[in-house]
Amino acid sequence: MLLVLWLAGVATWIVWVGQRDQAGAADAIIVLGAAAYDARPSPVFEERIRHGLELYRRGHAPTLLFTGGYGNGARFAESQVARRYAMRHGIPESAILIETASHTTHENLLQARTLMQRHGLHRAIVVSDPLHMARALRLCRRLGIEATGSPTPSTRFRSFQTQWKFLLQEVYFFHRDLVQHAA
């Protein structure tokens, strides 16, 4: 019974964090990578990119930082696809930073931290899917990135089945991260 209550509490916390938009003044907007299909962002990634562009246009930060490396056999890194998308939507190249080496959320944020340090950026807004936000912000704290979250207002994980799977995955990652960092 305690285990069920614990898991329900973790799931509730993940959902709660994902519903809070804390966007404010920052130095950079970190858009976490997701799949890209050749030169096109996946629907999930496009939602993240579009939300990042909206935050930029509202003046929350002067820099967009796109993360995501090369998928298997891909011609373009996810971050390159995002930069191209942003530029096609009127964002100047001078306002965009990218990294092309990461493949996981942890690597996305590790690479983002390196770019932020190199460019003298201190505070970030992290953009991702609502159910991914709790893990992303927890990793930011662990990596020493001063960050707030701004989950995408819409998600491609719309059906009960896709949301349920994503939530279960995030509950798993919550516990995996606890075990990895306790060791």
Q: What is the pLDDT of residues 62-87, one digit of tens each?
A: 999 999 999 888 899 999 999 999 99
Domain coverage including residue 57: 2-182
Burial of 174 (0-12, 13-18, 19+ CB in 10 A): middle
What is the H or E stretch that residue 149 is in?
strand 146-149
Neighbours of 85 (CB within 10 A): 21
Q: Using an 8 Å Cβ cutoff, are 24 and 125 in contact?
A: yes
| Amino acid letter, residue 30 | I
Query: What is the DSSP track for 61-75?
Result: -S-EEE-----TT-S
What sections of 96-159 are H helices per DSSP?
Answer: 105-118, 133-143
CATH number for the domain spanning 172: value is: 3.40.50.620
Among 80, 32, 27, which Cα is nearest to 56's? 27
Q: Domain count for the chain, please give it.
A: 1
User: Tokens 């919550």 map to which residue?
Assistant: 174
Residue with tokens 């003046």: 59
pLDDT for position 148: 98
Q: Would the pTM count as exceeding 0.85?
A: yes
pLDDT of residue 162: 65
Higher pLDDT, 68 or 153: 68
